[in-house]
Structure 1
Amino acid sequence: MTRWAALLRGVNVGGRKLAMADLRTMLAGMGFADVETLLASGNAVFSAAENDAARLERALEAKSAETLRLATDYLVRDADQWADVMAANPFPEVAAERPNQLLVLFHRDPFDPALLDLLAEHYDGPERLKPVGRELYIDFPNGQGRSDLVPMMTKLKFPKVATGRNWNTVTKITAKLGE
């Protein structure tokens, strides 16, 4: 059995409601073991016989649309991949001092570093960004709420199949994966 973290994109924001109890029920109904959810932002961990992430994402998306009436993207990482996300953090001082201001943006495909060059042509904010594989780490020194970065990323058509979690949440998911 493989231990997985599943991140749902855009739930419980903007009117897209999903009770975590319903998500747990769906996952257990799919035959997954050790199902847990974390926070109301669409985070789950579970064990599954499936070891292909793309196949698992498709199955989760289809089942979610069918049983929960929720069309959303799922981004999954196995426990080893999640450990790599933790280890690759290019901003350890931010993780230690301001974990709620460090965001990991998870993508389905490897992040194209050329997008950061495009961003630099249009935006000169205080944030620091560093891509590592499929993840983009973002330090928001003044907080996300005051930042114009995300609207600019949207305007520049950064990948839509992505979802962000702050370092506090990333750390909590790490603990759940290890249980």
Structure 2
Amino acid sequence: MQTYIALLYSIILGEGRRVVMADLKAMVEELGLKNPRTLVATGNLVFESEKTSIATLEKRLEAAFEKAFGKHVEIIVRTANDWLKVAAGNPFPDESNATADQVAVRVMRQPVPDEAIAALKSYVGKDEKMQAVGGDIWIVFSRASSRLLTATSHKRLGIGTSRNWNTVRKLAEMVDNRQ
């Protein structure tokens, strides 16, 4: 069995409606995936499955989500080993220790193209940082309205979803002992 992490782009189904994590876990079990666990109520899911391609898992989860909840949501899947590499690749350890909620990674379905990374540089504010690592984008953003955070959208970068350092670290802890 292989451990996977699935990150939902959005769990908001419409005005005032959010996905309940127990319902998400039930959906995963109906797919035959094993031992589903969630981290906070923001669409972070850990589960086990026979070794399967990432693209296949993403398609299966997205189709099941749309059927169960009536809305298409992009879902990014990584193996546990790949997630541990994401966490270990954090280029901003000092900032992560000081303000973990202001350090985030935009986890991408496909690696961010170099031209998109170059274009993002013009959005980096005075107290902000950005670095591409392994096709994902790490940022340290300002609590004031961050142009950089806003610029890391689907339209500019492609399909992806952001998680702050607290979430990245906690997901890594969830899968680290299941290797």
- Normalised TM-score (structure 2): 0.89
- Given the superposition, is the C-alpha separation of residues 151 and 52 from structure 1 closer, same or farther in structure 2, using an over 3 Å criterion? same
Distance 2:38 2:124 in 1: 37
Distance 1:110 1:148 in 2: 21
Q: In the alignment, what sits opposite 1:11?
A: 11
How far off its partner does 1:10 sit?
1.8
List per-residue Cα deviations over 1:85-107 (Å, max 9, x = no partner): 01111111112111111001011
How far off its partner does 1:116 sit?
2.6
How far off its partner does 1:68 sit?
2.2
How far off its partner does 1:124 sit?
4.8
Q: In the alignment, what sits opposite 1:165?
A: 163
Q: In the alignment, what sits opposite 1:72?
A: 73
| Greater mean deviation of Cα atoms: 38-47 or 145-154 | 145-154
Asked if residue 146 in structure 1 is aligned to residue 145 in structure 2, the reply is yes
Distance 2:97 2:136 in 1: 19
How far off its partner does 1:157 sit?
3.3
Tell me, yes or no, if the aligned pair for 1:111 and 1:132 is still in contact at 8 Å: no
Distance 2:151 2:137 in 1: 15
How far off its partner does 1:146 sit?
2.4
Aligned Cα RMSD in Å? Answer: 2.0
- Normalised TM-score (structure 1): 0.89
Alignment of 1:1-179 (within 5 A): 1-12=1-12, 15=15, 17-120=18-121, 122-126=122-126, 127-140=128-141, 142-143=142-143, 146-154=145-153, 157-179=155-177
Tell me, yes or no, if the aligned pair for 1:107 and 1:161 is still in contact at 8 Å: yes
Residue identity (%):
33
The count of residues paired between Structure 1 and Structure 2 equals 175
Give the secondary structure class of the aligned counterpart of 1:71. Answer: coil
